[in-house]
Structure 1
Amino acid sequence: MTHIYTVIGMTCSGCEAHVTKSLLSVENITDVLVSKEKKEAVITMDKHVELETFQTALGGKDSKYQISIPNSDPKKESESSCCGGSKENKQAVNHKHEAGTYYCPMHCEGDKVYDKFGDCPVCGMDLVKQPSLVQKVQYTCPMHPEVIQDEPGSCPICGMDLVPLEPSASEENKSYLDLSKKMKIALLFTIPVFIIAMSEMIPNNPMFEIMELKYWNWVQFVLTLPVVFYACWMFFERAFKSIISWNLNMFTLIGIGTGVAFLFSIFGMLFPDIFPADFKTASGTVHLYFEATAVVLTLVLLGQLLEAKAHSRTSGAIKELLKLAPTEATLIVDGEEKVISIHDIKKGDSIRVKPGEKIPVDGTITEGSSTIDESMITGEPIPVDKNKDDIVTSGTINGTKSFLMVAEKVGSDTLLSQIVQMVSDASRSRAPIQNVVDKVAKYFVPIVVAVSVVTFIIWWQFGPEPKLVYGFVNAIAVLIIACPCALGLATPMSVMVGVGKGAQNGVLIKNAEAIEKMDKIDVLITDKTGTITEGKPSVEKIIVKEGIELEVLGKIASINQSSEHPLANAVVNFAKDKNATLQKVADFESVTGKGVVGFINSEKISLGNQKLMEQEQVTDFSEVIKEVTAEQKLGKTVSYIAINKKVVGYITITDAIKASSFEAIEELKRQGVEVIMLTGDNENTAKAVASELNLSDFKASCLPQDKLEYIKQLQAKGKIVAMAGDGINDAPALAQADIGIAMGTGTDVAIESAKITLVKGDLLGIVKAKNLSHAVMKNIKQNLFFAFIYNTIGIPIAAGVLFPFLGILLSPMIAALAMSFSSVSVIANALRLRSLKI
């Protein structure tokens, strides 16, 4: 039985895939067809399954995805909870693929994103806005700015051409500007407080001639109020939330430390008689810490301001990719040109690309030729010649000629959109090394609070006079200097910058785990056709022992018309060039890893390797086997031609080895990576290619399951295996390998199965990926070292461990300055990856 259900919450093809997989996992379900456009799922089942069962499979009642019977009242997306059921944030969480949303830079909740700006409910840090992946452009008149419309055209008032309307300020800048405004206010009031407090150290303080210290204390109190209750009040709100939810973080420490200092100062000013003599000055007033409160909070605010500025740079790669997309295109309608927004382009539209313009969508050239600068996609600076029937990609730049193209992939289906989406998703993923940090961070704040309490007790019991003052100040310094954010930011900042750097060089990384594993690989398994070789095979010759050559060529070309294999395309193109007649084929069958079979006018045509011939019980090879073997030893691919179970000849196909394959394999071997070729081609051809490339090992005549089993065997020996391939038959092996590497020139199935995609489809891209992963992991380890060393050294110094030996104490203000810059230093180190040469 088959039923149709409504499914809401799907925003992209990734959502479709997730919903499909989840529903198929339900018992008694045999088939699922999901459409995000129709918001429906067509489910075939052996017996009836309750709706609640489907909802559970999709993640329960609080899931992003809600399934219901058509025309019922499904739970609306906006009602779903976002923070593990917390209603306080009032921010509905989106699926990670949705664009233009906010995420925590420390990825405390994995890939959760939020609709509204705020602070992370776990760590308290400002959420960061992911650059919007949908660049909807509006147009305005330069003479009449009040004219705004969604499409290009002319101004209805003056007739001038409308120009794209630039946004006045991004939300990211608004956040930075808001912090900047608060910083100015904090400085305006903090500096006078600091001057008043420091003036007490001046002999015969002239300020005391104006009024007594107790009145100056009131002035400090009044000046501190705007700093605490306006400029930095958000820190106390975050501290309060962290304690209520028990998600203890940096702001817990800041809030406790400065809050205690501020409240102590108020009580000391209002009720000085309740304090012991240790806390009092010579004039009888209590030592107050308004200046410490104001300065510490201002310095923390400065750190937040610098982080906000730095965060905008870490997502710079995505922003640069987004800039590649043009805003408009020239549509050809009935021979007339019309300028339209790229969002209005439909599949099948004819587009004119003029000299110097960016190509608006993915498609094929139908008329004309040009040179295309693809460096922004592949990272290669040399322009590529493009002629009729060649594929062109959105975001690349046309040279000096004009051409016509047909739109084939538009909107989110274009390569540029997929690259941006992949970079966006990968930037928010978590590396396994982050798990160690998470375990440390879980206990970090309670330990710091305990150390602070112990510090106070030790100073109170064993310190010099005034004991209580020393204990109080050092306990606050311990709270202030500890910085869990430096630990939390160490991994995600490096991952974000590294993933962006890879995208700019044609290396697309699916997640942070791939970066970590790529650095550890010791075996690379590679396919031959399209990976080591150009993947553009051509027929060198056809040898026919029985029958007319042109007729035999027409028959095998007819069979190959239904095949997706590159070798099949080569045969069809060769037949067309020879003007061979193609015929209707019945019962076509593609035998994976072996060849193709079909019937033409009751004749059974078989074209493939020796395994196919054996499967089809074709045994008479005596006339051609020596010739075939000789061709194979020259590195050529040879397919037997059989008609009605009798070999009538063979066809020889050549596929040149990429020049870059030699360099890439040598470099990988130099780095200690063993390179092994697994190919479906025959032993002789595989041996010739392996010998030319000086490979350590190879396996020939491999079926998809053979590649899969070979990888499993290597993994059983403790090897960390990467697999590079480009075809449908490579998909199982790509999925099994520790790191699947798909050639961007290959099939969608292979790319979907892989964790790294090389846009150019070049083995040198694997070298780039290896170098990048090594640099990112090295950068992460540097960040973690900085963060651990900082806290390991900083906390004991703040506690006063150097005082007995060197007489050195750390002021809470200095501790705040060090704490603020610790996170910034981690981000700055991660940003060094932007200048990396891979």
Structure 2
Amino acid sequence: MTHHYIISGMSCDGCRKKVEKTLNTVEGIQAEVTLNPPLATITMGEHVATEKFQDVLTEVGKYTIEMTSSSNALETPVKSCCSSQNKNSHVEHQHANKTTKSIDANTTGVYYCPMHCEGDKTYTKFGDCPVCGMDLVPAQTSNSQENKVYTDLLKKMLIAVVFTLPIFIISMSEMIPNNPLYNLMSVEKWNWVQLLFSIPVLFYAGAMFFIRAYKSIVTWNLNMFTLIGIGTGVAFIFSIAGMFFPDIFPAEFKSHHGTIHLYFEAATVIITLVLLGQLLEAKAHEQTSGAIKELMKLSPTEATLINNGTDITIAIDKIQKGDLLRVKPGDKIPVDGKITTGESSIDEAMITGEPIPVDKKTGDTVIAGTINGTKSFVMIAQKVGSETLLSQIIQMVNDASRSRAPIQKLADRVAKYFVPTVVAISLITFFAWAKFGPEPAYIYGLINAIAVLIIACPCALGLATPMSVMVGVGKGAQYGILIKNAEALENLNKIDVLITDKTGTITEGKPSVEKVYTEQNDVMNISEEMLIQSIASLNQHSEHPLAKAILNFAKLKNISIAAVSDFQSITGKGITGSIKDSKVALGNKKLMLDVGATISADIENKILDEQNQGKTVSYIAVNNIVLGYVTITDAIKENSIKAIKNLIDEGVEVIMLTGDNKNTAKAVADQLHLSSFKADCLPEDKLKEIQRLQAEGKIVAMAGDGINDAPALAQANIGIAMGTGTDVAIESAKITLVKGDLNGIVKAKKLSHAVMKNIRQNLFFAFIYNILGIPIAAGILYPVFGILLSPMLAALAMSLSSVSVIVNALRLRSLKL
């Protein structure tokens, strides 16, 4: 048995892990805990009292647990408190209370860490992440906020350059014979100039690095700023001590002038180069969020409201559901809705990625942000504000660009042990040089130890995955591929099996009635018109594509709709109801068996012929006698055959699971050359088939568009919803294809492959500088080649690793899908 519980008191991913680990200590249960929503899903063989879970949680922190339904759990906010063990990492910031899974892209005053050090934790004030020290990023994707971060860093960068350059010149002048600067002032006075010039660099421009380094040590979340802070701090303190207390140093620390060689230039140049790296990161982050900005630009600001026959221009946020809006030639569609009067061609490239305009007529849906052609029409507003597809796309892209890919765990594990290892190597380097190095041995030891600390900074390691994910998700949005999170993006590259529905996925999902066959019966004589009226009346309140096809067929024949009582919809089988004292059933053969309807051999043979041609046939029974059937055709999408062939060629097994009958399913499967298929599937059958494949170790993707596909979409490793389908299906899926054809899966898989390749390249760039640089910085080449790596060159190499990662990730922007 499985139960769901609300957990109160969790405020970060560390809390979540602790609660999950603690609950799993209870014998006979298996627990999985999520932070947002704060939900524990516990599977147990025998019932375990909630009080027992509470007892074990109380021992590790201020957590409470209570049983609830999963639906209520999704609406429960995360509370901003944390156990005493985690207080250090929550000193500066608190959670922003959240009631949904995602941060609203239009919310102000909400920030998050781009490295997700504490899961999906958000902060109410801009600043540094208390764990890794990175600048917090605004959830709102406005230009002003991003420009503020960039402008602030640029200002600090300019100040650092202005004061560092003179220090660098003064220090390097020592290499010039008969140094001309010493004719102006003594060495001691030039040292004072270096000290004064270094103060604004270290304690204004670079102050944030020392604050971050301090926090990292206090919380023992060691990171790149730990190494920067220790390295530059040691260089600065050594220089101060050399100026004021030169006599405490051994002779080998002194120059031929009798003064201690100072390292203000090393500390300031390092800070300046690290600032350069941060500046480039901020600029790159602004560029990677360009897809969201471009999408936001698509949203119009005004609309033309028809009010009592008069056109009035109103702001977009004043539109209400049911309003009639006039869309003029060249205008952007203001909200989602349907055309009520007129027709036009609409450019939907921003949604589908396809450049060819789509013809629209009365009754067709239109999407906010798409561009009207050369004709005017009137539409009714159906979805406004955050409900529009454009708003949902912006939100989805925003959420996905912030999510963590599983491969990021590799970088996290490396970083956890990397920093203390580097500090240890730095200390070993110092003592090894002090004992075995040439004179001045201590000078060599100090400089090389600092160089090790600086070149080993793992800033590129932290950027490697998020940069590629941000660019990749934005690229997908441009092609109508909406990715909910980075995990889906990564796993799509690994799928073994694609499960696909038929109607609306492989086929257009726009069925039409080909004919209604009526059999003359001695017991009950009924006309074709009466039979059409009966099945149309049953379908009058249904939103199913087949129902709409039957209603349209009745409308074309000018057949009226009758009242229905005792209506019942039976999932996966059909519908029943009473019309004018007659019991009517419309559906598949399973439904006919359920209601006990008799079927003549003649009708059975005719239906079989229709099904063998790939057509969908529904039996029509009146008073438990099958008196006819309705034949419905649904054209296969133009891209389905090509897309399925491409997937099979790439080694993906494509299986169709459909609620249609075996004969129709086989005809479609043969036409598409599918790996296999299963017919007469109820929603639970699709779910069980996916579970069976997963039990075999397969990574399963499921493509569907209907409410009946929602359980299977949620169960699959990757749920792929057709954008032309229901909101329930889209909500259950991890990837949505706006255009709604299988070719989008081919593009999405290509995108996944490109992003994962890019991430691996980034990890290589992040590691290669460290792997090669640390031994060189430690002086391994000196005994043979006499080569040493100065701290300044180490800082430059460290910055180059970040630049390499950024430039490589931005290459994805030119990817063609």
> Match for residue 110 of structure 1?
119
> Match for residue 39 of structure 1?
none
> Match for residue 601 of structure 2?
622
CA distance in structure 1 between the partners assigned to 2:238 and 2:219 by the alignment? 26
Instruction: Provide Cα deviations, 1:488-520, integer angstroms capped at 9, x if missing partner.
Output: 111111111111111111111111111111000
**Where in structure 2 are the equivalents of 1:270-669 lying within 5 Å?**
270-546=244-520, 547-669=526-648
- The code of the aligned residue for 1:93 comes to A
Instruction: Provide Cα deviations, 1:648-693, integer angstroms capped at 9, x if missing partner.
Output: 1111110011111011111111111111111111111111111111
> Match for residue 698 of structure 1?
677
Q: Give 1:563 deviation, angstroms.
A: 2.6
> Match for residue 751 of structure 1?
730
CA distance in structure 2 between the partners assigned to 1:352 and 1:55 by the alignment? 52
CA distance in structure 1 between the partners assigned to 2:658 and 2:630 by the alignment? 19
Cα 1:222/1:108, change in 2 over 3 Å: same
Conserved 8 A contact 1:110-1:428: no
CA distance in structure 1 between the partners assigned to 2:685 and 2:478 by the alignment? 35
Q: Give 1:619 deviation, angstroms.
A: 3.1
CA distance in structure 2 between the partners assigned to 1:462 and 1:21 by the alignment? 57
Please state if 1:201 is matched with 2:175: yes
Conserved 8 A contact 1:483-1:822: no
> Match for residue 222 of structure 1?
196
Q: Give TM-score scaled by structure 1 length.
A: 0.86
Please state if 1:97 is matched with 2:103: yes
> Match for residue 761 of structure 1?
740
CA distance in structure 2 between the partners assigned to 1:723 and 1:634 by the alignment? 26
> Match for residue 717 of structure 2?
738
CA distance in structure 2 between the partners assigned to 1:279 and 1:132 by the alignment? 52
SS in 1 for 2:325: strand
Among residues 107, 119, 138, which one is paired with 2:128 in the alignment? 119
Q: Give 1:26 deviation, angstroms.
A: 14
Cα 1:339/1:738, change in 2 over 3 Å: same
Q: Give 1:216 deviation, angstroms.
A: 1.4
Conserved 8 A contact 1:370-1:401: yes
Q: Give 1:402 deviation, angstroms.
A: 1.1
- The code of the aligned residue for 2:455 comes to I
SS in 2 for 1:543: strand
Is there any run of 5+ residues in structure 2 with no aligned partner, and where? 1-7, 9-33, 45-62, 521-525
CA distance in structure 2 between the partners assigned to 1:245 and 1:565 by the alignment? 56
CA distance in structure 1 between the partners assigned to 2:148 and 2:810 by the alignment? 22
SS in 2 for 1:658: coil
Among residues 225, 229, 235, which one is paired with 1:251 in the alignment? 225
Q: Give 1:613 deviation, angstroms.
A: 1.0
Q: Give 1:113 deviation, angstroms.
A: 2.5
CA distance in structure 2 between the partners assigned to 1:748 and 1:375 by the alignment? 21
> Match for residue 154 of structure 2?
180
Conserved 8 A contact 1:508-1:757: yes
CA distance in structure 1 between the partners assigned to 2:297 and 2:66 by the alignment? 39
CA distance in structure 1 between the partners assigned to 2:730 and 2:498 by the alignment? 17
CA distance in structure 1 between the partners assigned to 2:586 and 2:69 by the alignment? 46
Conserved 8 A contact 2:427-2:449: yes
Instruction: Provide Cα deviations, 1:575-609, integer angstroms capped at 9, x if missing partner.
Output: 11111121111111111111111111221101111
Conserved 8 A contact 1:598-1:604: yes
Cα 1:84/1:611, change in 2 over 3 Å: farther
- The code of the aligned residue for 2:588 comes to N
- The code of the aligned residue for 2:119 comes to G
> Match for residue 155 of structure 1?
none
Q: Give 1:129 deviation, angstroms.
A: 2.3
Count of residues paired in the alignment: 754
- The code of the aligned residue for 2:717 comes to D
Instruction: Provide Cα deviations, 1:214-256, integer angstroms capped at 9, x if missing partner.
Output: 2211111111111112221121111112112222111111111
CA distance in structure 1 between the partners assigned to 2:449 and 2:294 by the alignment? 46
CA distance in structure 1 between the partners assigned to 2:279 and 2:698 by the alignment? 46
Conserved 8 A contact 2:216-2:222: yes
SS in 2 for 1:265: helix
CA distance in structure 2 between the partners assigned to 1:288 and 1:757 by the alignment? 60
- The code of the aligned residue for 1:111 comes to D
Q: Give TM-score scaled by structure 2 length.
A: 0.89
Q: Give 1:767 deviation, angstroms.
A: 0.6
> Match for residue 3 of structure 2?
none
Conserved 8 A contact 1:131-1:318: no
- The code of the aligned residue for 2:733 comes to A
**Where in structure 2 are the equivalents of 1:136-215 lying within 5 Å?**
170-215=144-189
Conserved 8 A contact 2:90-2:130: no
Instruction: Provide Cα deviations, 1:758-803, integer angstroms capped at 9, x if missing partner.
Output: 1111111111111111111111111111112221111111111111
Percent of residue pairs bearing the same amino acid type: 68
Among residues 761, 767, 771, which one is paired with 1:792 in the alignment? 771
Please state if 1:237 is matched with 2:211: yes
**Larger deviation, residues 525-534 vs 620-629:** 620-629
- The code of the aligned residue for 1:486 comes to A
Conserved 8 A contact 2:270-2:795: yes
Q: Give 1:54 deviation, angstroms.
A: 8.1
Cα 1:369/1:589, change in 2 over 3 Å: same
SS in 2 for 1:659: coil
Q: Give 1:824 deviation, angstroms.
A: 2.6
Cα 1:443/1:54, change in 2 over 3 Å: closer
Conserved 8 A contact 2:228-2:453: yes
**Larger deviation, residues 292-301 vs 107-116:** 107-116
CA distance in structure 2 between the partners assigned to 1:340 and 1:127 by the alignment? 36
CA distance in structure 1 between the partners assigned to 2:169 and 2:186 by the alignment? 15
Report the RMSD for the aligned CA atoms in angstroms.
2.6
CA distance in structure 2 between the partners assigned to 1:230 and 1:85 by the alignment? 25
Cα 1:300/1:763, change in 2 over 3 Å: same
Cα 1:22/1:190, change in 2 over 3 Å: closer
CA distance in structure 1 between the partners assigned to 2:77 and 2:575 by the alignment? 44
CA distance in structure 2 between the partners assigned to 1:725 and 1:299 by the alignment? 51
Q: Give 1:374 deviation, angstroms.
A: 0.6
- The code of the aligned residue for 2:283 comes to K
Q: Give 1:731 deviation, angstroms.
A: 1.1
- The code of the aligned residue for 1:228 comes to L
Conserved 8 A contact 1:23-1:57: no
Conserved 8 A contact 2:36-2:120: no
CA distance in structure 1 between the partners assigned to 2:252 and 2:181 by the alignment? 25
- The code of the aligned residue for 1:106 comes to M
CA distance in structure 2 between the partners assigned to 1:407 and 1:665 by the alignment? 37
SS in 2 for 1:465: coil
Conserved 8 A contact 1:94-1:115: no
> Match for residue 830 of structure 1?
809
SS in 2 for 1:680: coil
Conserved 8 A contact 2:274-2:795: yes
CA distance in structure 1 between the partners assigned to 2:791 and 2:370 by the alignment? 54
Is there any run of 5+ residues in structure 1 with no aligned partner, and where? 1-6, 8-16, 28-51, 68-74, 134-168
